[in-house]
Amino acid sequence: MGEGEATSGLIPHLFRLEYTKMTAVLCRHFGLQHMETAEDIVSETFLKATEVWTEKGIPENPTAWLYTVAKNKTKDYLKRLSVFETQVKGAIRPEAAEEAPAFEFDTQTIADGQLAMIFAVCDAANSTESQICLALQVLCGFSVEEIADAFLAKTETIKKRLLRARAVLRDIQFHTGPLREAAITARLDAVLQTLYLLFNEGYFSKSGNRAIRKDLCSEAMRLTLVLTENPLTCTPQANALLALMCYQSSRLDAREDEAGEAILFEQQDKERWSRELIDKGNHYLVNACSGHEVSKYHLEAGIAYWHTTPSSDKKWEHILGLYNELIVMAYSPMTALNRTFAFAKVYGNGPAIAEAEKLQLEGTGDYHALLGYLYADTDVAKAVAHYRKAIQLTKSASGKKTLAKEITRLATGN
């Protein structure tokens, strides 16, 4: 592989991993009202990396190189700002030229910065949905398309929501000082939902060429763990969410093959499931049950728990029961489809087909993928027709390949 090819592959990878971390630290340094300045500095850093690395080669420590350049660009920006303030505005506002406090891109600063900024963005001046959209974009690196997928909304709707949310924060002279306990408590639900969506995009990626984005799963777990380690945010909900993430992550290595294609649940090698993560999930689920609160995270964690247990006569009945509660508490099309899969395990594919058709979700790929699965044993022609429709409606290249493999399997009788 040539230097140019190595650079072209490494830059996007580091962009996904480091862009949001760098932006969070700079946003905390400048204040979120100057969010665009922070984003510009980080974007310029990656642009410079592309130019320099292509010409001179990749440095020994690419990540450290990025942070050093971003820090230097920040210093240059502040120096230019100081010159402007002292020489142009000095006579009017001499106090404006105070030197900005120093900062470092160390591990603790990055972790604190990301979590602090998620809480800061979740300001009640914006609607809860707008708070979550902005946090996903600025601090989790989601594209507009990925946010639209998460909310099952049109991209234009999300674009407008993000523009309004940014404008609101600027208008209220937003600042990033320490939050009081009441503010943290009030914003925790939105923060948990942001981390939940971040993990889900990693676990069920609908964009790109891979079904799983482990970097997003890891980032969501790391930030949720920080919540459980703070007395103000170590709530039953936070522990339940972390339990859910642990259970789901325990199966990550078994969910895709070496080519990055998805492996369906029933075809997974259970020996590849992580016992350590399952045990951690058990630990956090016990912590989550310390009070009387039952949230959607508790129910989903319970469902994930039963998925990691050995088969038993009552396993799918337990899962279906939890889905019945979840669909009442927090309905979503995906929850309804997952419930139908569990329904099939308990009552059979025939009754489940009738349940699925009641949902009227013909416009989604997951609906047709489920019907393809349910018809596979009794009507191959219908199963193939639904799988083909699912391929048309699925965005993910990896998802299309998985569905195509099922069509091939049915056609060959394997």
CATH assignment of the domain containing 378: 1.25.40.10
Domain end: 309, 327, 351, which one? Answer: 309
12 is a domain residue:
no
| Two tokens, residue 307 | 């998925």
Is residue 345 within 8 A of residue 318, CB to CB? The reply is no
Which is more confident, 286 or 399? 286
Nearest by Cα to 211 from 265, 257, 272: 257
- β-bridge mates for residue 256, sequence order: 262
Domain end: 286, 309, 332, which one? Answer: 309
Co-location of 299 and 384 in the same domain: no
Q: How many of the other CB atoms lie within 10 Å of CB of 286? A: 11
pLDDT for 3 equals 53
Number of domains the chain contains: 2
Co-location of 288 and 371 in the same domain: no
Co-location of 298 and 361 in the same domain: no
282 is a domain residue:
yes
Co-location of 284 and 336 in the same domain: no
CA-CA distance, 376 to 81, in Å (whole number)?
66
Co-location of 300 and 323 in the same domain: no
Co-location of 371 and 413 in the same domain: yes
Confidence class for position 150, pLDDT limits 50, 70, 90: confident
Which is more confident, 400 or 288? 288
Co-location of 302 and 377 in the same domain: no
Its domain, for residue 281, covers: 235-249+275-309
68 is a domain residue:
no
| Two tokens, residue 1 | 């592989």
Fill in the amino acid letter for 170.
Answer: R
Q: Give whichever of 89-93, 227-231, 250-254, 332-336 has the largest mean pLDDT.
A: 332-336
Co-location of 372 and 290 in the same domain: no
Length of the chain: 414
151 is a domain residue:
no
Co-location of 327 and 304 in the same domain: no
Domain end: 309, 332, 361, which one? Answer: 309
Co-location of 327 and 392 in the same domain: yes
Averaged pLDDT, 401-411: 91
124 pLDDT higher than 90: no
Co-location of 305 and 323 in the same domain: no
406 is a domain residue:
yes
* CA 210 centroid distance within chain: 14
Co-location of 288 and 363 in the same domain: no
284 is a domain residue:
yes
377-387: b or e for each residue (b if 16 or more CB lie within 10 Å)?
eeeeeebbbbb
pLDDT for 209 equals 47
List CB contacts of 187: < 8 A, sequence separation 6 or more. 119, 122, 123, 124, 131, 179
Distances (CA, A) of 115 to 64, 133, 142: 21, 15, 16
381 is a domain residue:
yes
| Upper half-sphere CA count for residue 21 (Cβ side, 13 Å) | 25
409 is a domain residue:
yes
% the chain with pLDDT above 70: 82
